[in-house]
Copies of this chain bind each other. A is one copy, B any other.
Amino acid sequence: MTDQIARNEKQLGAILRRARRQADLTQEALGKQIHLRQATVSRLEAGEPAVQLSTLMAALYALDLELVVRPRSKGSAAEIEDLF
């Protein structure tokens, strides 16, 4: 249960928000640790797609989280083409 799967930016943002709250941090407090504005943390958690990788990695770091990449587990091979 402590492993959370993120297949898109929104899920990722949601995970980060949960983690931050669990850590009892405000967006501003978190941002301060990693030198990001509260507004930037907000965008990240909102799942905006154009947020930069560095922003994500910094947040993960501050929250003591790590990223794991693995083969897609369940169903969901899905037709990629359909998404575009």
Contact = CB atoms under 8 A, between A and B. Distances in A.
A67 B12 contact: yes
A65 B60 contact: no
Given A64-B72, A67-B6, A71-B66, A51 B49 contact: no
Interface size class of A (residues with CB under 8 A): 35 or more
Taking the full assembly, how many copies of this chain does it contain? Answer: 2
A24 interface: no
A30 to B, nearest CB: 11
A81 to B, nearest CB: 8
Contacts of A70: 2-4, 65-66, 68
18 contacts: A4-B70, A6-B68, A6-B69, A7-B61, A9-B54, A12-B53, A12-B57, A12-B67, A34-B84, A49-B57, A51-B52, A51-B53, A52-B53, A53-B56, A61-B80, A62-B80, A66-B72, A68-B70
